[in-house]
Amino acid sequence: MKLIHYVVFSCLSFLLLAGFVYASDPVEKEKYIEITVTPGDTLWELANKYRDSHHLSTNEFIDWVMDVNHLPNEKIVTGEKLVIPVLKSEAENALVVSK
């Protein structure tokens, strides 16, 4: 019986530790592009505008932006700078292709 408790406790401890390691792995913001919010922008519109570069669903895009930029809600303000889930290398490739 003690062995079962030990095994269960060990497994739960490992899962808890793994969760902390995963959650504490911050996004390297310098790898992603930063945009300045323009009048009329919404997170939904930004997700659609950059759809070909981020490969996320609209909700995943919005959740990522809110989490990384520490936004309390989906409201964004003109002039605000936001890091979005588009790698700088992806943006540069898209720019070269569009020329």
User: What global pTM score does this model have?
Assistant: 0.67
Pick the CATH number of 28-98 from 3.10.350.10, 3.90.550.10, 3.40.50.1220, 3.20.20.70: 3.10.350.10
pLDDT tens digit sequence for 49-81? 999 998 899 999 999 999 999 999 999 999 999
What is the residue extent of each domain of the chain?
28-98
Q: In 3-state terms, what secondary structure has residue 32?
A: strand
Encoded tokens for 49: 């505008």
- Contact in structure between 83 and 68 (CB atoms under 8 Å): yes
What would the pLDDT profile of 5-48 be if each residue is shown by its tens digit? 667 767 666 666 555 545 555 788 899 999 999 999 999 999 99
Q: CA 20 to CA 1: how far, in whole Å?
A: 29
Terminal C-alpha separation, the chain = 69
Q: How many residues does the chain have?
A: 99
